[in-house]
Amino acid sequence: MYAIIKTGGKQYRAEKGSRLRVEKLEANPGDTVEFEALMLGGEQTVIGSPTVPGAKVVAEVVEHGKGKKVVVAKFKAKVQYRRKRGHRQPYTEILVKDIRA
């Protein structure tokens, strides 16, 4: 069984035992977080409008971190304009413990 969850403006496919890197959550490592399921799949597919009533995904926060560096370079010809800037997006890694339907 799997579920589609939404967090941080993005949707993720969650299965029991899977690890997901989601947008940073305000929770400490070891905390338990719950997400509402937008869709449940498996033997029978249930699509919510917008969520499936009573369906929850329970996950544990494993760690916080930063993603790989993205380099933004700006350049304009003939005017000596060069800018270089990096960015690392923060994330939270979660471990899906259970899908309650």
Tell me the per-residue pLDDT of 55-94, one tens digit each, with 9 for 90 and over.
Answer: 999 999 999 999 999 999 999 999 999 999 999 999 999 9
Cβ contact 51:35 at 8 Å: no
* pTM, to two decimals: 0.84
Q: Where are the domains of the chain?
A: 2-100
Whole-angstrom CA distances from 17 to 32, 53, 73, 86, 92 are 14, 23, 39, 33, 16
Nearest-angstrom CA–CA distance, 67 and 5:
21
Give the pLDDT score at 101: 82
